[in-house]
Amino acid sequence: DAKTTQPTSMDCAEGRAANLPCNHSTISGNEYVYWYRQIHSQGPQYIIHGLKNNETNEMASLIITEDRKSSTLILPHATLRDTAVYYCIVRDYGQNFVFGPGTRLSVLP
């Protein structure tokens, strides 16, 4: 069973920041938070992951609350090509990746 809860869908205006929330209230101390996205008909694409601290890479930023029960993926300047389904996954080492339904992000012109 997926250990995360995400909104079914979200809209974002092109050029604005997209903030995608994820609740993982039962996360354990060794579990990482991962974000993937899937653009229509393509394989899921890795975005970012973190354990406790906030993380940033060339694609996005990951903000994890201090109690680690929720996180937010931030796409700082969304483009039309960021329209996709975004998956939030929590996983410990040795566990398989379990994908839930994710959030369908629509970036609008």
Partner 1 sequence: DAGITQSPRHKVTETGTPVTLRCHQTENHRYMYWYRQDPGHGLRLIHYSYGVKDTDKGEVSDGYSVSRSKTEDFLLTLESATSSQTSVYFCAISESGRISSGNTIYFGEGSWLTVV
The residues binding partner 1 (CB under 8 A) are: 30, 32, 34, 41-46, 49-51, 92-93, 96-102
Residue 51 to residues 27, 31, 66, 89: CA-CA distances in angstroms?
10, 7, 11, 12
Q: Which is nearer to partner 1, 52 or 77 (CB)?
A: 52
| Beta-strand pair 18-23/45-50 | unpaired
Burial, 109: exposed, middle or buried (Cβ in 10 Å; 0-12, 13-18, 19+)? exposed
Which is nearer to partner 1, 6 or 70 (by Cβ)? 6
Considering the complex, what minimum distance in angstroms separates the CB of residue 99 from partner 1? 4
Q: What is the nearest approach in angstroms of partner 1 to the Cβ of residue 51?
A: 6
Closer by beta carbon to partner 1, 15 or else 65: 65
Which residues share a beta bridge with 11? 106
